[in-house]
Structure 1
Amino acid sequence: MTAGAVRVVRGSTCGVVCVAVGRGYLDDPAACSGLAHLYEHLWFACDPPVPALAWGETREHAVLLYHACPPDEIGAVAGAVARRLRDGLSPSARQVAAALRTIGLECRTGRERRPYGFPRHDIARALRRDPAFDPVAVVIDGLDLPSLAEEIARFPGGHPSAVCAAGPTGCDLATMTVAAADRPMLRLEGRWEVDSDGGAAQASAWVLPRTAEVAAAAWITAELLDRRPRSAGLRWVSGRVVAPRGVSSLRGGYLYGVASGAAPPPLCLLEEVVLPALRATPGQLDLARQAVLSTRLDVADLAAIDALDLLEAQAGARHGHEDVLAAVERIDAERLRRFADLLGSTSRAEIRTRPARR
């Protein structure tokens, strides 16, 4: 159930070992939501420690666990990660309690609720179809700490995992095969309104197939949107498209959302903002393509892309970073038109905010 891969990145100043576990916050049971986020925290808290700078992120259908280290330590860190995957997590009640307190602090900071920031909570509620859902919080519904520790020990059972080591030197990973799991496409439907601390804003999120051509078209579209003259009174937030295993960044632009303090809602993002950008001239398309191809991802980004790609791998169907770059080189007006048709035919959520009531 575990896949492994090694990417050699010449000139990198560090190495990264990234673990992807194929279960995220949408896979948590309704009666015990937040297990994926709790697992992320406890991975780094449990013994034995992994000798690396570490951080994680919990996505819709995956937990990503990063371990950065000096290049000559990649093999040792990969070995420690492999042993942890083999042995599983056995957190103590004290460790679970400490992780719950830390998560409680995250919930109280409200750092995801900036009015013009990326509304992760609102997208999570849309995907979960629960207006009260909080992907950061842990809701244990009466479980005591030992029972919660047992849930964490069982958390990855039956789900695929992947390990990618990336850095200036290679290393040996024991397991190089994966049992791919088919997952249905997520669907978003409807509208949500939330209170914000600032002015009114509106955003759209699309659910798109995770293929190399779609990812390439999304990156090109984001670059075209960044280069498009912006209407007076419009502000913008980071461009995003919701993909089956996570929210994939599009490097800015308005494709995810346009926040407007002047234009009256509703602002039709697809017809008024996205489609005009997709009707690019050959010169504009060439400039966007060159900008995307020259983008340099850091070693942690590459390790995460590879790990998620392994997690989702089907026989003979890989869509890694090189596949996306090759698709970027092939992008032409016809492929952009097909991408526009895909956006027009795919379910999307419209998320609006309004000034909070005082």
Structure 2
Amino acid sequence: MTFESSPAQPPQGPTPLSPQEFKATVEGILTNVEWVIEGKSHTIKLAIAVMLAEGHLLLEDVPGVGKTQLAKALARSVDCSVRRIQFTPDLLPSDVTGVSIFDPEKRDFVFKPGAIFGNLILGDEINRASPKTQSALLECMEERQVTVDGNTYKLRSPFMVIATQNPVEMEGTYPLPEAQRDRFTARLAIGYPDVNAELALLDRREEYNPLDALRPVADADMIVRMIAAARAVHLAPELKRYVVDLVTATRTNAQVRLGASPRATLQLLRCTQVLAAMDGRDFALPDDVQQLAVPVLAHRLIPTTETTMGGGDTKAIVSDILRHVPVVSNPGRF
């Protein structure tokens, strides 16, 4: 008797949210965070897009503009496990990943999880930690797992690192290595508020801390379903080629010593899908790519010495590439 083997079935994933539920949940998170960080809707929208693209976010700006407040507001808007790591020069890699400790009763080593074991990880002033400690995040951020003493431990989904840092020219900081920067999906700057927003901030803070009033509008399961919904957004072959052309242009630009990696290409496409879903579309457009190109690509580029000495800026380089790379036509549903 012979038996015919049936084809293997792919594992069942989470049920995606409907477009209406997706948009309503995003608006709820956006409203929550805007209650704390006023007048920065576009920055907050991009931060949410990074989370739903299963990426990691680097908030880089001068002290006091609300980097940590933005990270905490986003974390409090989602009902999931949140861990905070205050990066300092004496922080050890084991403080981040965990350590195996000998248990006399069990007469064996027991793993004690570090601060990285959570859904949303707030890494405050990441560039104040030593390069050795910064490198402890490499495996976590890319492979969503931790290896300690030969044992590998999976991290729970969703998993996102939101790190803040002051500009690297400030005293007492360590520049992030290239491999670390490349693992951050996007780098955002908040900037100073306008006059009206700053006045509103003063009035609101007289009564209470806005963070204390925040309530979750989504949970971990809902975020996973939103991630699945964003992954279903259609990417036309022409749009994929446009993204590849943009990334390739960073590698051949005369002002750039090291261009964007294939990881950057993948993450730019993932964020593009999320941005389309936020607008209620099931297909992505070049406009989505263009909104994301600078925050996703600029921090990965290493300019030449001549460009740096001449005051060149990687954001300006990416903006110039956007102007010169031809935009695809009719990249919609076909």
TM-score under structure 1 length normalisation: 0.29
TM-score under structure 2 length normalisation: 0.30
**Relative to total residues, which structure has the larger helix share, 1 or 2?**
2
Q: Which has the higher contact order (CA 8 A, sep 6+)?
A: 1
